Amino acid sequence: MTFAVIKTGGKQYKVAANDVIKIEKLEAEAGDIVTFDQVLMVGDTIGAPLVEGALVAAELVETKKQKTVIIFKKRRRHNSRRRNGHRQLLSTVRITEILTGGAKPTIKAAAKAKKTEAVTEKAPAKKTETKAAAPKAEKAEAPAKKPATKKAAAAKDESAAEKPAKKAPAKKADKADKE
């Protein structure tokens, strides 16, 4: 089984075909084919500093945040404490093939990328149609509710106006009796 050592994100990784690794965030979308041209070693061939014509092709699976790392600093006898957290963005990558001699990634890898792109393009179109239809339905319902709420509000105002009027004279009479 052939392996390679690649350099990305300031780190080195030993990879083989069908390996899944987590690396620093890449500027690509899920399903895209990414290539690593900084290959330090392929099998027994060691580069000085890089192997000529070597290339590692991979498919980007997902990009998400790592678990939170807590940074806690304390200076004793000074009542000084600082707590901070950090979540690093990581890309999960599946290595598809290791190429040497200036070869290009195969058509299979490119075909997978095109299929995933076609699926992602269709999905947003459906979502926008449903979002566009939803506000129209809400606007149609809103005018029907407004008159009902105004009538209910007017009825509440009338009943509220009557109650304080009855209670207010009774309170004034009680105050007059006490004086």
- Region 161-165: mean pLDDT is 54
Instruction: State CA 4 to chain mean position distance.
Output: 31
Q: Give domain limits for the chain.
A: 3-105
Q: What's the full length of the chain, in residues?
A: 179
Residue 169, pLDDT above cutoff 60 = no
Dist CA 56 CA 114 (whole Å) = 19
pLDDT in tens, 15-69: 999 999 999 999 999 999 999 999 999 999 998 899 999 999 999 999 999 999 9
- 101 or 117: which leads in pLDDT: 101
- 165 or 4: which leads in pLDDT: 4
- 116 or 108: which leads in pLDDT: 108
Residue 105, pLDDT above cutoff 90 = no
Quickly list DSSP for 75-130.
ETTTTEEEEEEE--EEEEEEEEEEE-TTPPPPHHHHHHHHHHHHHHHHHHHHHHHH
Biggest alpha carbon–alpha carbon distance for the chain: 109
pLDDT at 37: 93
* Mean confidence (pLDDT) of the chain: 78
Reported as a pLDDT band with limits 50, 70 and 90, residue 157 is: low
The letter for the amino acid at 14 is: K
Dist CA 35 CA 33 (whole Å) = 7
